[in-house]
Amino acid sequence: MRRARLDDEAAGVASEIALTREILARAARELARGLLALSELDSRQPQLHSDRDETREALAAARQAAQAAQLTARDLLIRSESLRSTENSMAVGVERMLEQRAQLASRCADLEGELASGDTPIVELEARLAEALARRLEVEAELAGARSALEDAEGDLRVLDGKRAAAEQRVFDARTAMQEARIAASETRVRRESIAEQFAATHFALAEIQQDLKPDASVPAWEDALTEVRADIEKLGQVNLAAIDELKEQSERKDYLDRQFTDLSDALTTLDQAMRRIDKETRTRFEETFERINMGLKEKFPRLFGGGHAYLELVGEDVLAAGVAVMARPPGKRNSTIHLLSGGEKALTAVALVFSIFDLNPAPFCLLDEVDAPLDEHNVSRFCEIVRDMSARIQFIIITHNKATMELASQLIGVTMSEPGVSRLVSVDIDAALRLAAV
């Protein structure tokens, strides 16, 4: 379909070229009328001598414009001939030239009839005109016999340009014709550029399309195929004219979503990398923390129980998802689970675990609430001993009713009820009390 449209456009260009040639023919006729006006100019020659200088300047400008138009027309002719050569239409051009020659011959006959009763200058002009016509016929004969349109056309144009240059000094009306030719040539060039842009928008190479054409390809076949396709399109019904805008909008949305997807993918990649780094760091720190707490538990449990052993054990293969079990065996027992321990043994085991965590991450204060309540005297003494050792770096706040634990404290704060229903806080500094007792 695109090839058919391009062929139609090429045919339009050919018709425009034909129109340009007709304009050039009109210019030639204007030249002939200029030769006729030569006799009138000769009669006014004395008067025109005074205006000759100004006229030469104006004609110089006109000559430059004509030469520019000639170059433009020449370029257009070369390009048009290259297209026409592919269509094998040289015979049409030759035929047109023969028609123009016939028209010129008819025009010459009319001019001869009009000038038959003229004076001697007119006779001389007729001789010159006959010579020019003879030369033109020779040129046209050479052009008709030439197969290479480009070289012969350029030769004929040079010959015609030489003759026209001699006559341009006295021809003023030729500027209008040449201007029209230049406008037509410009329109043709714009039309050709538009066709080239339309073809470029198809993203196809002209040489490749011409190479891929079948030997039996013909314009009627393409026209028939185009008619069938148009009929199929009409069968489809109404066409959504907003489809292009919708496609553009959806394309822009897709580009936006693609950018969002890329950003999200990059963010997910970054998060995944960060999660892997965090997971690795967490595993490392968890393992280090677990080992240090386990070592502290192994060291403090025998001190609190006077023997035995305890340790931490992971329940599961994954470090981050596994649970932590406390394995504790006081001296003289072979328990299989911590639930078989007594209340005091469970309390001491918990104290050993808490103190192990304090060794890893010490805090300024440690609050113990009735920890020694389930302990017997021997266990309380061992509890007080380990508390005394750790009090050098941690301040303990103990809630207790055990006298042995109270003796460990350096500051006592109690609640007494000296009168029924009236409670009062009592604070005792043991060190100050000892100093007063000594005094």
Residue 415 within a domain: no
- At 132-155, the pLDDT tens digits run 777 777 767 666 666 566 665 566
How many whole angstroms separate alpha carbon 362 and alpha carbon 356? 10
Backbone dihedral angles phi then psi of residue 325, each to the nearest 5 degrees: -110, 140
From start to end of 20-154, where are the E strands? Answer: none
Q: Is the pLDDT of residue 125 over 70?
A: no
Higher local confidence (pLDDT), 198 or 114: 198
Neighbours of 27 (CB within 10 A): 20
Residue 20 within a domain: yes
Q: Assign 277 a pLDDT band (cuts: 50, 70, 90).
A: very high
Higher local confidence (pLDDT), 115 or 11: 11
Q: Is the pLDDT of residue 271 over 90?
A: yes
Higher local confidence (pLDDT), 241 or 99: 99
Tokens of 340: 């078989």
- At 357-416, the pLDDT tens digits run 888 877 888 888 888 888 888 888 888 888 888 888 888 888 888 888 888 888 888 888
Give the per-residue pLDDT at 70.
76
**Would you call 286 helix, strand, or coil by DSSP?**
helix
Give the per-residue pLDDT at 335.
72
Question: Which of 158, 103, 94 lies closest to 133 in space, CA to CA?
Answer: 103
Residue 39 within a domain: yes
Residue 102 within a domain: yes
How many whole angstroms separate alpha carbon 307 and alpha carbon 329? 9
What residue numbers bound the domain in which 66 lies?
2-209
Give the per-residue pLDDT at 264.
92
Residue 60 within a domain: yes
Question: Cα–chain-centroid distance for residue 130?
Answer: 70
Residue 423 within a domain: no
Tokens of 380: 């309380």
Give the per-residue pLDDT at 273.
92
What average pLDDT does this structure show over 322-334?
82
Count the domains in the chain.
1
Amino acid (one-letter) located at 429: D
Instruction: Enter the DSSP assignment of 328.
Output: E
Total-model pTM: 0.39
Percentage, residues of the chain above pLDDT 90: 5
DSSP, residue by residue, 208-237: HHHHHS-TT--HHHHHHHHHHHHHHHHHH-
**Would you call 312 helix, strand, or coil by DSSP?**
strand
Q: Assign 436 a pLDDT band (cuts: 50, 70, 90).
A: confident
Say if residues 425 and 412 touch (Cβ distance below 8 Å). no
Residue 269 within a domain: no
Beta-carbon contacts of residue 175 (< 8 Å; ≥ 6 apart) = 62, 65, 66
Residue 78 within a domain: yes
